[in-house]
């Protein structure tokens, strides 16, 4: 799996309207599975909502921080956990053995959980988001791209350092625009990522690729101090994509 255990400092703060509230919650998927999530509601909403699809660790603290950061700029956000069916609801300790649970996930159940999160953001309790997007990292990157094909009415799907082969079969079904943020020093060659985007476009979809040539895998969530310019640029591109 594409993950390392490098220590990661907290996200830098942004100056904006702030989050009205943030809390752990339990959502229920269409098959009746309960799973953990973390919701941050914007104090000054701009109409957008963001579903955060984590890396292989599931609902790690980084994604709670990221949800709050989105809320600070007016975007209601919810980060979800993948492992409700195999590990129950969290929170989880740092030594959680995520590998065995990742291997038991299925695209259709990830999509069902993402759909429950989308519905929550659109509800009054979730903030009543009028346009909803997804963003994912590593394992969550390809999960996020797939939502373009499997979710109705999605505003767009963002993916950091995803593996295109995990979403390639959906390239001809993409309905919402993709924003593909690629690390030039990632395990996946840039040309593979660009070919995936070309396949999406050839089928009539929209896909924008931004490559950060010197950045490694996980540059946004673990090494932003060394790659601050790249992280700032990626953040700005996400906000532009969402329309804030």
The pLDDT of residue 16 is: 45
Which of 74 and 225 is assigned the larger pLDDT? 74
Average pLDDT over residues 152-181: 97
The pLDDT of residue 9 is: 41
**Tell me: the pLDDT tens digits for 115-125?**
999 999 999 99
Fold held by 135-244? Rossmann fold (3.40.50)
Q: Return the domain boundaries, the chain.
A: 18-129, 135-244
Which pLDDT band holds residue 222 (cuts at 50, 70, 90)?
low
Give the count of beta carbons closer than 10 Å to the beta carbon of residue 24: 13
Calpha distance 69→72 (Å, rounded): 5
Q: How far is CA 30 from CA 52, 108, 113, 117, 187, in A?
A: 19, 11, 8, 11, 35
For the chain, give the percent of residues with pLDDT over 90.
Answer: 85
Which of 1 and 36 is assigned the larger pLDDT? 36
51: left (phi over 0), alpha (psi -120 to 50) or beta: beta
Q: What share of the chain is helix, strand, coil (3-state, %, to 5)?
A: 35, 25, 40
Q: How far is CA 187 from CA 1, 32, 103, 195, in A?
A: 11, 36, 20, 15
Which of 13 and 59 is assigned the larger pLDDT? 59
Spatial contact of 118 and 27, defined as CB atoms under 8 Å apart: no
Nearest residue to 50 via CA among 110, 139, 135: 135
Q: Is the pLDDT of residue 4 over 80?
A: no
The pLDDT of residue 17 is: 54
Identical fold between 18-129 and 135-244: yes
The HSE-up count of residue 89 (CA atoms within 13 Å, CB side) is 13
CATH of 18-129, one of 3.40.50.1820, 3.40.50.720, 3.40.720.10, 3.40.50.1360: 3.40.50.1820
**Tell me: the pLDDT tens digits for 42-94?**
999 999 999 999 999 999 899 999 999 999 999 999 999 999 999 999 778 88
The HSE-up count of residue 120 (CA atoms within 13 Å, CB side) is 27
Return mean pLDDT, the chain: 91
């Amino acid at each position: 799996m594409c993950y390392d255990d490098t220590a990661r400092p907290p996200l830098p703060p942004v100056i904006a309207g702030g989050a009205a509230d943030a809390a752990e919650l339990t959502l229920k998927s269409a098959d009746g599975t309960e799973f953990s999530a973390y919701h941050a509601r914007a104090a000054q909403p701009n109409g957008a909502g963001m579903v955060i699809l984590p890396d292989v660790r599931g609902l790690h603290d980084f994604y709670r921080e990221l949800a709050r950061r989105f809320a600070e700029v007016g975007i209601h956000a919810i980060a979800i956990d993948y492992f409700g069916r195999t590990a129950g609801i969290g929170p989880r300790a740092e030594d959680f053995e995520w590998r065995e649970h990742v291997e038991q996930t299925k695209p259709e159940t990830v999509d069902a959980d993402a759909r429950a999160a989308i519905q929550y953001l659109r509800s009054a309790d979730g903030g009543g988001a009028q346009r909803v997007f997804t963003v994912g990292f590593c394992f969550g990157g390809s999960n996020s791209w797939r939502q373009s094909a499997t979710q109705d009415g999605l505003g767009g799907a963002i993916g950091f350092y995803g593996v295109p082969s995990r979403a390639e079969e959906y390239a001809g079904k993409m309905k919402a625009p993709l924003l593909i943020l690629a690390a030039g020093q990632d395990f996946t060659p840039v040309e593979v990522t660009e070919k995936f985007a070309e396949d999406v476009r050839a089928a009539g979809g929209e896909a924008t690729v931004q490559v950060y040539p010197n950045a490694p895998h996980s540059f946004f969530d673990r090494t932003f101090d060394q790659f601050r310019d790249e992280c700032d640029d990626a953040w700005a591109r996400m906000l532009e994509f969402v329309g804030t």
